[in-house]
Chains A and B, each alone.
Chain A
Amino acid sequence: MSDATTRADDKLDRPLGQKTPTTAAEKAQAEREPSKTRRVKERLTSPWATAAAILIATLWTIPTFGLLVSSFRTPEEIRSNGWWNIFVSPSFTLENYFEVLTVSGASSANLGQYFVNSLVIAIPAALFPIAIATMAAYAFAWIKFKGSGALFVLVFALQIVPLQMALVPLLQIFSQVLGISGTFPAVWIAHTIFGLPLCIFLLHNFISEIPGEVIEAARVDGANHTQIFFRIIIPLSLPALASIGIFQFLWVWNDLLVALVFSGGTADVAPLTQRLAELVGNFGRNTERLPAAAFISLIIPLVVFFSLQRYFVRGLLAGSTKG
């Protein structure tokens, strides 16, 4: 993890209102006389707790690590013995990655195409719901109207309607009314709809916390809702928009169910997850391809995760620890 991320995480994790030493002099003083936090820290950190933490971290990491190592071994080795043997007889190859990405044909993985599909699906499907949800969240937070509270509770409750309930009728609308079933727009719209309740809920939490005086002042100056929205709400909510956008992007990238139903399953539209699920379906025949294939699907989420972790975490916290 980069230094910048670490520092930002520090800021994020610190309880509100706790003062931190900023100048060199303050830091030196903090080191001379340990603060309350430090004394408590000494009491709580026992060697047993640390050992247990490291044990859990190791257990949690080994499965992914094993797959990463496998993806760099030759197909024969993947089939014949376990990845831990690489420590006895080290040998690395990039062959698997070339194979699954570039070789095309009915029996090969063709992942290059599906990777493009995933990107083309996930970018609009992250932006659309954020935009629409921001507008709705603003209306719920700052436009007074009858039944506002009840409608908001309804939207919140929709969060929990299982997608499984919506699939069949929505598919019928797409194929019979709009005629777009099995195309990118169908997948975009489906993801937008399914992402909306959570996005509205999280963004509402954030937007309703904006101080009323700011908006009141703008209104006195003669600004209407559209102007307030673009000049005040959007600039002030950028951090929340970023974090929830990342969250939605990862969710769409990792989705299988919506893709299975709305993409039509062809190499023209279907995302990586669907192709992977098909490859897993013939696990025995694809054993040597899977580690590299899985890692290709993990690259974007892991890059997003490790570089934007603090925004991602903030998005999670926005709706869950407040209140």
Chain B
Amino acid sequence: MTSEFFSDLAAKFGLMFLGLAVFAAAVGVILFLADRAPKRGRDVWQLLAFLAPAMILLGVGLVYPAINTAVLSFFNRNSSEFVGFDNYVWMFTEPTILTTLGNTLIWVALVPTLSTVFGLAYAVFIDKSKGEKVLKSLVFMPMAISFVGAGIIWRFVYEYRAVGFSEQIGILNQILVWLGQEPQQFLQNSPWNTFFLIVVMVWIQTGFAMVLLSAAIKGVPVEIIEAARLDGANAWQQFWNVTVPGIRSTLVVVVTTISIATLKVFDIVRAMTGGNFDTSVVANEMYTQAFNRGEFGQGSALALVLFVMVLPIVVYNVRVMRKQKEIR
């Protein structure tokens, strides 16, 4: 078994180094040729050499697929027949899909709000306190953990054993038992199970919000806070009237980034309930329809709805970016 494992290992790493070498050679050749381009139009050749690889990949890998998916959403399950808006009608009349859409709205309403509030509160609480680095690391750590890993971690927290059957192995149910309550099936009792999944996402994203907001808080000039204090503002007034306006742009970035991540969330639902018990979200449902059931038309329609939900955030971000460029 071991020798088999090591020959497998050698083959895979061999392939990896070959891939890296081929890639390096390709980039090298492109830049070398750009360097030696004929004098006439050299600028154009060099621009192409730098920009074309990225643009070709994005065109083939994102722009074309996005357009194609939009078109597929108007065709039947194997894309052989044009069906108009049937897939969209299906989506808004099928009760399970309506639940899915509703769940997605609950996710995108709760996750960014809760993560930002917890992250901001935590950043303020630990600001300049002793052991700030360690406290920061503890809350930031879930960012490094995969959604699947987080799903496993929290499945153990929520694990349920029926009364009298055995001891509880999930800490949340054990706490309920200690308090003299009945243990609950946290992941199966709809509609509350959606909220228990949301807790996992909040657990992951709070560290992200905290790190960015903490850096922004440290950028608020001490003099202004001092001045507010001398004017007699209490801690809450200082926070609300000085700190929050000072970090507004970072708050916007944090909320939009987490909103986008939340809309696309797929792994948590997949790893914890598989979308059963009324917990599915659009991103997960799209995968289920297209890849598990072979319903490419319906899957594509769901993907398009996801895009439409993200679109306002894109437009808002682009406008903010434009404004910043004007200021510069």
Shortest Cβ distance from B216 into A: residue:
A321
**Is the CB–CB distance between B145 and A321 below 8 Å?**
no
Measured between C-beta atoms, what is the minimum distance from B186 to chain A in Å? 13
A66 contacts B by Cβ under 8 Å: yes
Chain A residues with Cβ under 8 A from B77's Cβ?
Answer: none
Measured between C-beta atoms, what is the minimum distance from A225 to chain B in Å? 4
Secondary structure at the A interface, as helix, strand, loop or mixed, is helix
**Is the CB–CB distance between B304 and A64 below 8 Å?**
no
A79 contacts B by Cβ under 8 Å: yes
| Distance between Cα atoms of A131 and B63 in the complex (Å) | 21
B9 contacts A by Cβ under 8 Å: yes
A40 contacts B by Cβ under 8 Å: yes
A136-B145 contact given A112-B5, A165-B66, CB 8 Å threshold: no
Chain A residues with Cβ under 8 A from B151's Cβ?
Answer: 280
Chain B residues with Cβ under 8 A from A170's Cβ?
Answer: 60-61, 65
Quick one: which of B144, B274, B287 contacts A164, CB cutoff 8 A? B287
Quick one: which of B8, B15, B218, B249 contacts A13, CB cutoff 8 A? B218
B107 contacts A by Cβ under 8 Å: no
Shortest Cβ distance from A230 into B: residue:
B31
| Distance between Cα atoms of A63 and B61 in the complex (Å) | 38
| Distance between Cα atoms of A194 and B206 in the complex (Å) | 24
Chain A residues with Cβ under 8 A from B207's Cβ?
Answer: 60
| Distance between Cα atoms of A13 and B137 in the complex (Å) | 13
**Is the CB–CB distance between A124 and B62 below 8 Å?**
no
Quick one: which of A62, A102, A287, A301 contacts B171, CB cutoff 8 A? A62
Secondary structure at the B interface, as helix, strand, loop or mixed, is helix
**Is the CB–CB distance between B147 and A168 below 8 Å?**
no
Interface-side segment among B81-89, B94-102, B124-132 = B124-132
| Distance between Cα atoms of A291 and B157 in the complex (Å) | 12
B76 contacts A by Cβ under 8 Å: no
* Contact-size category for B: 35 or more
A243 contacts B by Cβ under 8 Å: no
A193-B57 contact given A143-B50, A167-B290, CB 8 Å threshold: yes
**Is the CB–CB distance between A169 and B215 below 8 Å?**
no
| Distance between Cα atoms of A226 and B30 in the complex (Å) | 10
**Is the CB–CB distance between A53 and B125 below 8 Å?**
yes
Chain A residues with Cβ under 8 A from B125's Cβ?
Answer: 49-50, 52-53, 56
**Is the CB–CB distance between B50 and A135 below 8 Å?**
yes
Q: Which of B43-79 contact A (CB under 8 A)?
A: 43, 46-47, 49-51, 53-55, 57-58, 60-66, 68-70, 72
B306 contacts A by Cβ under 8 Å: yes
Shortest Cβ distance from A193 into B: residue:
B61
A-B contact pairs, 14 of them (CB 8 A): A13-B218, A16-B219, A52-B125, A53-B126, A63-B157, A66-B157, A70-B156, A164-B264, A166-B69, A168-B300, A254-B147, A280-B152, A298-B146, A320-B250
**Chain B contact residues, CB within 8 Å of chain A:** 1, 5, 8-9, 12-13, 15-16, 19-20, 23, 27, 31-32, 34-35, 42-43, 46-47, 49-51, 53-55, 57-58, 60-66, 68-70, 72, 118, 121-122, 124-129, 133-135, 137-149, 151-157, 166-171, 174, 203, 206-208, 211-212, 214-216, 218-219, 221-223, 225-226, 229, 235, 249-250, 253-254, 257, 260, 263-264, 266-267, 270-272, 274, 283, 286-287, 290-291, 296, 299-300, 302-304, 306-307, 310, 313-314, 317-318, 321-322, 324-325, 328
